[in-house]
Amino acid sequence: MVAVAVSRDTAPRLSALPIVGAALAVCLGYFIGANIGFILRLPPATPSILWPPNSILTATLLLAAPRRWWIYLLAALPAHLVAELPVLSPASLVYLLFATNCLEALIGATAVRILSDSPGSFDTLPRVSAFVVGAGLLGPFLSSFVDAWAVAELTHEPYWLVWQTRFFSNVLAELVLVPAIVFVARDAWARVRHARVMRRIEAALLGVALASVTVAYVAVPAAEARRLMLGSLDAPVAFFIPFVLWGTVRFGPAGASLSLLVTTLVMVWGATHGQGGFSVPPSSDSVLLLQISLAVSTIPILALAALIEERWRDRIALANRLRFEELLARLSGAFVHLASNRMDEVFQTWLGRLGEFLNVDRVMLFRLSEDGRVFTVSHEWAALGMAPMSTDNMSVSFPWSVRQLRREQPVVFRDAGELPEEARVDRESLEAMDITSNLALPLVAAGRVMGGLSLVTVKRRRSWPDETVGRMQLVAEVFANALARKVSEDALRSSELMKSAILASLNSSVAVLDGRGQIIEVNRVWERFTPDFNQSGGLEIGVGRNYLSLCREASRRGEAHAGDAAVGIEAVLEGRQAWFTFEYPAGAGTGERWYAMSVVPLHRMDGGAVVSNTDITERKRAELEAQRSRQELAHVTRVSAMGELTASLAHELNQPLTGILSNAQAARRLLEVAKPDLDELRSILRDIIDDDRRAADVIQRMRDLLRKSEPEMTLLDLNALVRDVRRLLGSDTVIRDVSIALDLDAGQAMVTGDRVQLEQVLLNLLLNAMEAMSEQPGADRTVVVRTRSSDGHTVLTSVEDSGPGLRHGTQQMVFEPFYTTKRTGMGMGLAIARSIIEAHGGSIWAENTGRGATFLFRLPLSPPGPA
């Protein structure tokens, strides 16, 4: 049934045939029809029982465009004259009869054109009714008055008898012949060509059956037949009725009209030739009865055929709709979860399915460039044997169509000739490509025309019913959405690719965590090597694992830094901290390496963080190197400071040594007497020991300062430290005529630090202060050293001199390496002091006070240890 529906659409129409050929066919048909009419006549009556020529004219006019009617009517004239002039006289009657024949056809065809929406079709009840009323009744009815008048005038036959005979014979002829002729002229070939084998066989069987009944009917003599059929006139028809119904039920209006035609011809032939149930010659009453009964039974059969056809069509339409809906459902389903990189392939497949479903020759998908200028074929399907289209810019070959699509308008035409004048370029391109019909729809997604979907037929017309256009609009919608998704996914993928490339190119190992700390992405470095504190635990830290939990677990197992990492990551994930960094050593296998972990938040709806571990071993080495150099330098500076103190140290040592010497001499003198005073002697020895200790102390301090040792952090009393340094400088103060006043915090001033380094700082500050005051008058040469731990967390030490103060704007600069204003200065003392204080977690700065310069440093207080 589908094939039938399609063949209807694609079958060539009569108007497409060369007009001359059609005119000749009409002429020939008319001639044959007239001769058949003569055969089916009961002489001496002029009108035939069944007169085909009029019906041939009616059928022709129903098929032809009204503007060509005159051609076909004229074409019939020679046939009419040739057929009738020898038989009828006078000649004027022949001409008059031609006029009445034409009149009948004209009235009938015009009436049908007015009453029917499709004059050449008998496939719906309204169309059949229009045909029966217009061509079957009205045409013969009106024309028969003129005809009867002409015949009665010229042959003197009774007017009403002629009218009656002509009317009924023409009604029968119109009803039986016109549908059959229209079908044969228009559809028969295409129907046979497109029919399936089984239908062809069935049609042939029906033909054979009808032929057999005909032969049987014709072969039986009238008398025998009458005996067999008990004298009934109608009975012979009964033999044909099953076959007529077969044709009607199985082949619709075509089957009905052809089987009715055969039946009628046989019946009428039988009646005129005394065959079947007819006596020779039958009475005019029985002929009339035959005509009426045949005509009357034709009408319900045609109506039945139309109803059956309508039902078929409805079924086909329903089946088509179901097929389409299924197709659409599968089409939308095909794109729902499809990755964009597979879309090309699926577009291709579906273009093919659509093409086959709609029986078109090409289906194309166009893409409109971003700037809206270039319209190119992106996917194409072509029926077997069709060459692919060029993929040039369609805007050039089809400017009008592209404009329409860009305006979101469809381009629909059955024939390129229907295109408006402004589409001239399009028409020419279509002709060059042999494209006859087209349905092109814009692909619109998110308010933007993304391209178009076009279905075309090559060298054959195809109409595009609204229903098809509507359905294809749904398809276009699915394609447009899929295309839009592809575009955005492609863009996303390329940006993702970019991100992955960046991630992959990083030397740090990077992991992306979700809001709960689960790893959702890692880069290659991370996969290769995870510099983590839980390496020893042998845990695999990959995508899907919860990094936070892993750190906590490692921390519980005693991994040194895992706990710190967990706390920091959690703080960032919870948004309590904007970022978190820390450095940690990891010492497995290849020797100790250092890493810096940095955690930054991931700015997205579900939160998350990016953890990166960067190998900072080299930087750390450089730092350690620098620290070592600083220590070297500090040592050198200390040595040079000691150099400066040589005189004072000599003096410092001189004192106890001189004391020891004089005490020893005194003791010797005491021993020279007979009875030495032992108490005196003991006191002298005590002094000697004291002096020796003092000298040893001085030497010890000197050795401490000169020693090159690794820093050793211990708990120190800063106040005691200040006193020691002052003692070291004791002699120097005397030499320089300077006094060092102490104003120490009464409470504890405990700090954690390296004794030698902190002594160096104090020594440096005091030496600088003493030096600064060298130009000052003697009374003003006082350095005040203060310690204060007022805030409870830190201890502030200040060294305040009464020198000239710092030069303007040099408060920061004095701490820079190699800054010096002294002729023999090195400019490293304060720079080293700063690095020492900072290494102890403190800070140092300088300011000018009213008296001179004050250097201050603050160190964190340490709670006194158990020792």
Residues that bind ligand ADP (CB under 6 A): 764, 768-769, 772, 801, 803, 806, 814, 819-822, 825-830, 853
- Report the SS3 class of residue 593: strand
Minimum distance of ligand ADP from residue 647's CB (angstroms) = 17
Q: Would you say 72 and 30 are in contact if contact means Cβ atoms under 8 Å apart?
A: no
What tokens appear for 535 in the block? 């390496």
Q: Would you say 575 and 598 are in contact if contact means Cβ atoms under 8 Å apart?
A: no
Cα separation, 353 vs 343, in Å, equals 15
C-alpha separations of 367 from 199, 393, 411 in Å:
44, 10, 16
State which residue, 468 or 820, has the beta carbon closest to ligand ADP: 820
State which residue, 566 or 814, has the beta carbon closest to ligand ADP: 814
* Strand boundaries in 356-434, DSSP class E: 362-368, 375-382, 411-413
Minimum distance of ligand ADP from residue 799's CB (angstroms) = 8
Minimum distance of ligand ADP from residue 720's CB (angstroms) = 24
Minimum distance of ligand ADP from residue 810's CB (angstroms) = 7
Best CA proximity match to 357, nearest among 405, 314, 322, 389: 322
DSSP 8-state assignment for residue 443 = E
State which residue, 301 or 766, has the beta carbon closest to ligand ADP: 766
Helices (H), 531-581: 547-556, 562-573
Neighbouring-strand partners of residue 615: 595
Cα separation, 574 vs 517, in Å, equals 10
Minimum distance of ligand ADP from residue 645's CB (angstroms) = 14
Burial pattern 491-529, b for ≥16 Cβ within 10 A else e, equals eeeeeeeeeeeebeeeebbbbbbbeebbbebbbebbeee
The residue whose Cβ lies closest to ligand ADP is: 829
Best CA proximity match to 305, nearest among 245, 237, 242: 245
State which residue, 111 or 772, has the beta carbon closest to ligand ADP: 772
Neighbouring-strand partners of residue 435: 458
Residue 348: Cβ within 10 Å count: 14
Q: Would you say 564 and 582 are in contact if contact means Cβ atoms under 8 Å apart?
A: yes
Minimum distance of ligand ADP from residue 742's CB (angstroms) = 17
State which residue, 546 or 810, has the beta carbon closest to ligand ADP: 810
Q: Would you say 468 and 440 are in contact if contact means Cβ atoms under 8 Å apart?
A: no
Minimum distance of ligand ADP from residue 774's CB (angstroms) = 11
Minimum distance of ligand ADP from residue 743's CB (angstroms) = 17
Minimum distance of ligand ADP from residue 626's CB (angstroms) = 18
Q: Please list, in sequence order, all residues whose beta carbon lies within 8 angstroms of the beta carbon of residue 32, skipping any fewer than 6 positions away.
A: 52
What tokens appear for 116 in the block? 């029917």
State which residue, 133 or 636, has the beta carbon closest to ligand ADP: 636
- Report the SS3 class of residue 453: strand
Burial of 469 (0-12, 13-18, 19+ CB in 10 A): middle
Residue that has been written with the tokens 């009209």 in this structure? 257
State which residue, 269 or 815, has the beta carbon closest to ligand ADP: 815
State which residue, 239 or 819, has the beta carbon closest to ligand ADP: 819
State which residue, 606 or 775, has the beta carbon closest to ligand ADP: 775
Residue that has been written with the tokens 């009924």 in this structure? 168
State which residue, 485 or 630, has the beta carbon closest to ligand ADP: 630
Minimum distance of ligand ADP from residue 767's CB (angstroms) = 7
What tokens appear for 62 in the block? 């129903």
State which residue, 751 or 830, has the beta carbon closest to ligand ADP: 830
State which residue, 79 or 814, has the beta carbon closest to ligand ADP: 814
* Strand boundaries in 416-554, DSSP class E: 435-445, 448-458, 509-513, 519-522
Q: What is the dihedral of CA 415, 420, 426, 430, to 10 degrees?
A: 10
Minimum distance of ligand ADP from residue 832's CB (angstroms) = 8
Minimum distance of ligand ADP from residue 643's CB (angstroms) = 12
State which residue, 539 or 856, has the beta carbon closest to ligand ADP: 856
Say which amino acid occupies 420.
Answer: P
State which residue, 517 or 852, has the beta carbon closest to ligand ADP: 852
C-alpha separations of 37 from 126, 173, 268 in Å:
30, 10, 10
Minimum distance of ligand ADP from residue 532's CB (angstroms) = 44
Minimum distance of ligand ADP from residue 771's CB (angstroms) = 7
State which residue, 552 or 638, has the beta carbon closest to ligand ADP: 638
Say which amino acid occupies 308.
Answer: I
Minimum distance of ligand ADP from residue 826's CB (angstroms) = 4
- Report the SS3 class of residue 799: strand
**Cα of 592 vs its chain's centroid, Å:** 49
Minimum distance of ligand ADP from residue 768's CB (angstroms) = 3
- Strand order, beta sheet including 782-788: 739-743, 782-788, 794-800, 853-860, 843-848
Phi, psi of 582 (to 5 degrees): -160, 160
Residue 709: Cβ within 10 Å count: 10
State which residue, 54 or 802, has the beta carbon closest to ligand ADP: 802
Best CA proximity match to 76, nearest among 90, 94, 50: 94
Say which amino acid occupies 821.
Answer: T
Minimum distance of ligand ADP from residue 629's CB (angstroms) = 17
Residue that has been written with the tokens 């009458």 in this structure? 226
Say which amino acid occupies 738.
Answer: V
Minimum distance of ligand ADP from residue 612's CB (angstroms) = 40
State which residue, 417 or 804, has the beta carbon closest to ligand ADP: 804
As a whole number of angstroms, the longest Cα–Cα distance in the chain is 209
State which residue, 608 or 803, has the beta carbon closest to ligand ADP: 803
Q: Please list, in sequence order, all residues whose beta carbon lies within 8 angstroms of the beta carbon of residue 588, skipping any fewer than 6 positions away.
A: 535, 536
Q: What is the dihedral of CA 708, 713, 719, 723, to 10 degrees?
A: -20
